[in-house]
Amino acid sequence: MSRITPTLMTVLVVASINIATGISYVPKADIGYPAGLLPECPGVQKNATISARMLPNLKITLHKILPNGLISRQLVPIGTAHKIVAKDKSYDFRSKKTMLYAVGFLDSSIFPHSQAIGTAYAKRGYNVFITETVHLLTYIYPKSVRITKVIGMKVGEFLVKLMEQGLSPDDLELVGASLGGHLVGAAAKYIYEKTGFKPFRVTGLDPAGPCFRSLPEEFKLSPNDGQHVDVIHTNIDGFGIAERLGHIDVYVNGGEYQPGDIPYIPCLVVCSHIRSILYWWQALEHPKKFIGVKCASIQEARLANCFNNTDIVYMGLETDFSKSGIYYLPTHNEFPYYRGKAGLKAENEIYTSITKQINAVDLFEA
Residue type (1 letter), 305: N
Average pLDDT, the chain: 93
Closest CA to 177 of 45, 59, 274: 274
Each domain of the chain, given as residue ranges in start order, spans 35-358
Confidence bin at 26 (pLDDT 50/70/90): confident
Compute the average pLDDT of residues 69-79.
97
129-188 tens-digit pLDDT: 999 999 999 999 999 999 999 999 999 999 999 999 999 999 999 999 999 999 999 999
Region of poorest pLDDT, from 67-76, 140-149, 270-279, 350-359: 350-359
**What letter does residue 258 receive in the DSSP assignment?**
B
103-145 tens-digit pLDDT: 999 999 999 999 999 999 999 999 999 999 999 999 999 999 9
Region of poorest pLDDT, from 23-37, 298-312, 319-333: 23-37
CATH superfamily name and code, 35-358: Alpha/Beta hydrolase fold, catalytic domain (3.40.50.1820)
pLDDT at 13 over 90: no
Closest CA to 181 of 222, 127, 135, 133: 222
Residue type (1 letter), 97: K
251-289 tens-digit pLDDT: 999 999 999 988 768 899 999 999 999 999 999 999 999
- β-strands 172-177, 98-102: how paired? parallel
Which sequence positions are flagged as catalytic? 178, 206, 273
Edge-to-edge strand order for the sheet containing 228-233?
71-77, 59-65, 127-132, 98-102, 172-177, 201-205, 228-233, 248-252, 325-329, 291-295, 312-314
pTM summary value: 0.93
Q: pLDDT value at position 266?
A: 83
208-241 tens-digit pLDDT: 999 999 999 999 999 999 999 999 999 999 999 9
